């Protein structure tokens, strides 16, 4: 059992200082209860030899640990419900390293599966993230009588910001605002018209938006921060996917059966073109001035994980199963696609093609429909809010 028992009475939104697990475990919201139930069902069906380690990672204060463990859990559950049998951390013939699963399909064909998280923030400084989190937690501990704030973060500090000065500047700014007038404006014009303050420490920039509290609730709200917007930056979602596939291709050496790498790309704006480019090469417009009557054509550069200048690459990876920003809360409305390698050492079993997939045919990438995650898990399109 991963979650505590007993009656829950706290239905407040997740606070900045809470871990994902702490929020799930304490929330009394009905929709959060549905997420807990799904996780519990999946854990009960998970191989017993791997359950303790998975729970430990989900309870970690490290967000990456929680999300990577949750992803492994859900990949296992998706395959299990389709009749696959999975063994955790199987021994390999040539290396001490072990993939996440050995999977046996309904027809007896087997393959190795590695589940991994990729993000545009891969490689970012963990110390900088910790400093930002600490500063925001201190800010959240100092509520204001009439306002809460939304935060938009960009960049990283190299030293810890002074909390007392930071909190003092924010409260002085909020004290200068007209809470009653802004509350009326919020109700008629929306959040986009609320006043903002720019705050900078070294290369870390915060945009603070004042959110006036309705009069009947003033003085009762415990935290100052009502939300932290995803970090806004120009992102290239192709590179993290490319790196993850190439790393996993090299990690296990030569294998005796197919290797499928499932990657959960943590990028809300991930598009299929990013997936295609990361695996099969970037699509670019090529001018052809020396061909009469031709203005040019679309071509793919040989810079993908599967297509390299020297020929096919990452041939140990039989398929890349890419998930678009899956989380315990969004699993009912996230897509996945199994991209088949055009020339793998071992082809993937046909049973995996029950899911949406894409393969190269006649020099073109062809997509085929399949079972969605929602269909496999028996969820509605409005889950968990239904």
- pLDDT (tens digit, 9 = 90+) per residue, 276-312? 999 999 887 666 656 666 666 777 888 899 999 889 9
Q: Are 257 and 319 in contact (CB under 8 A)?
A: no
Query: Do residues 165 and 301 share a domain?
Result: no
**Structural domain contains residue 323:** yes
Structural domain total, the chain: 2
**Structural domain contains residue 106:** yes
Note the pLDDT tens digit of each residue in 269-281.
788 989 999 999 9
**Structural domain contains residue 59:** yes
Query: Do residues 225 and 242 share a domain?
Result: no
Mean pLDDT of 321-333: 95
**Structural domain contains residue 5:** no
Q: Could you say which of 183, 200, 229 is where a domain stops?
A: 229
Q: Which residues pair with 320 in a beta bridge?
A: 261, 339
**Structural domain contains residue 208:** yes
**Structural domain contains residue 13:** no
Q: If pLDDT is split at 50, 70 and 90, which confidence band does 61 have?
A: confident
Query: Do residues 162 and 197 share a domain?
Result: yes
Query: Do residues 256 and 306 share a domain?
Result: yes
**Structural domain contains residue 343:** yes
Query: Do residues 276 and 261 share a domain?
Result: yes
Mean pLDDT estimate for the chain: 90
> By mean pLDDT, which of 67-81, 103-117, 162-176, 199-213 is the weakest?
199-213
Q: If pLDDT is split at 50, 70 and 90, which confidence band does 336 have?
A: very high
Q: If pLDDT is split at 50, 70 and 90, which confidence band does 234 have?
A: very low
Q: Are 159 and 187 in contact (CB under 8 A)?
A: no
Q: Could you say which of 185, 211, 229 is where a domain stops?
A: 229
Could you tell me which residues come within 8 angstroms of residue 349 by beta carbon, excluding any fewer than 6 positions away? 105, 107, 109, 110, 111, 258
Mean pLDDT of 14-37: 93
User: Can you read off the two tokens belonging to residue 18?
Assistant: 């809470």
Query: Do residues 273 and 308 share a domain?
Result: yes
Query: Do residues 300 and 325 share a domain?
Result: yes
**Structural domain contains residue 365:** yes
Mean pLDDT of 80-100: 93
Considering the chain, what percentage of its residues have pLDDT values greater than 70? 92
Which of 316, 307, 315, 311 lies closest to 278 in space, CA to CA? Answer: 307
pLDDT of 299 reads: 79
Kindly give the residue spans of alpha helices, DSSP state H, lying in the chain.
20-26, 30-44, 48-58, 63-81, 126-140, 163-175, 179-189, 238-251, 272-280, 373-377
Query: Do residues 77 and 158 share a domain?
Result: no
Mean pLDDT of 101-105: 97
Q: If pLDDT is split at 50, 70 and 90, which confidence band does 126 have?
A: low
Query: Do residues 131 and 278 share a domain?
Result: no
> Above 60 in pLDDT, residue 226?
yes
User: Can you read off the two tokens belonging to residue 53?
Assistant: 């380690």
Q: Could you say which of 168, 201, 229 is where a domain stops?
A: 229
Q: Are 118 and 244 in contact (CB under 8 A)?
A: yes
Query: Do residues 268 and 366 share a domain?
Result: yes
Considering the chain, what percentage of its residues have pLDDT values greater than 90? 65
DSSP string, 35-52: HHHHHHHHHHTS-HHHHH
Q: If pLDDT is split at 50, 70 and 90, which confidence band does 268 have?
A: confident
Q: What is the pTM of this model?
A: 0.76
Note the pLDDT tens digit of each residue in 157-201.
889 999 899 999 999 999 999 999 999 998 888 888 899 999 999
Query: Do residues 164 and 112 share a domain?
Result: no
Query: Do residues 269 and 367 share a domain?
Result: yes
- What domain range includes position 339? 20-120+235-386
């Amino acid at each position: 059992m991963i979650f505590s028992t007993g009656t829950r009475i706290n239905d407040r939104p997740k606070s900045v200082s809470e871990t994902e697990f702490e929020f799930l475990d304490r929330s009394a919201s009905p929709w959060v209860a549905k997420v807990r139930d799904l996780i519990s069902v999946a854990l009960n069906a998970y191989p017993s030899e791997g359950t303790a380690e998975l729970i430990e990672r989900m309870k970690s204060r490290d967000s990456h640990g929680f999300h990577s463990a949750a992803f492994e859990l859900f990949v296992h559950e998706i395959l299990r419900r389709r009749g696959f049998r999975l063994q955790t951390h199987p021994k390999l013939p040539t290396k001490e390293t072990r993939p996440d699963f050995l999977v046996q399909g309904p027809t007896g064909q087997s393959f190795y599966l590695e589940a991994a998280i990729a993000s545009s923030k891969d490689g970012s400084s963990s110390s900088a993230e910790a400093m930002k989190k600490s500063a925001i937690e201190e800010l959240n501990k100092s509520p204001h009588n009439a306002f809460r704030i939304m935060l938009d973060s960009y960049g990283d500090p190299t030293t810890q910001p002074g909390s007392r000065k930071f909190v003092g500047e924010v409260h002085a700014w909020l004290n200068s605002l007209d809470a009653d007038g802004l509350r009326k404006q919020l109700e008629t014009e929306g959040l986009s018209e609320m006043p903002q303050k720019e705050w900078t420490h070294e290369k870390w920039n915060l945009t603070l938006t004042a959110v006036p509290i309705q009069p009947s609730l003033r003085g009762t709200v415990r935290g100052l921060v009502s939300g932290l917007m995803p970090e806004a930056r120009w992102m290239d979602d192709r590179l993290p996917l490319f790196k993850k596939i190439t790393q996993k291709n090299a990690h296990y050496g030569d294998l005796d059966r197919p290797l499928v790498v499932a990657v959960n790309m943590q990028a809300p704006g991930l598009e299929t073109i990013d997936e295609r480019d990361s695996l099969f090469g970037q699509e670019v417009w090529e001018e052809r001035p020396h061909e009469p009557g031709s203005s040019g054509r679309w071509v793919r550069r040989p810079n993908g994980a599967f297509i390299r200048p020297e020929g096919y690459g990452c041939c140990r990876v039989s398929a890349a199963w890419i998930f678009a920003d899956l989380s315990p809360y969004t699993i009912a409305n996230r897509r996945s696609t199994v991209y088949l390698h055009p020339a793998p050492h071992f082809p993937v079993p046909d049973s995996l093609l029950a899911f949406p997939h894409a393969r190269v045919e006649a020099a073109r990438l062809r997509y085929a429909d399949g079972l969605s995650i929602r269909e496999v898990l028996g969820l509605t399109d409005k889950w968990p809010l239904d």
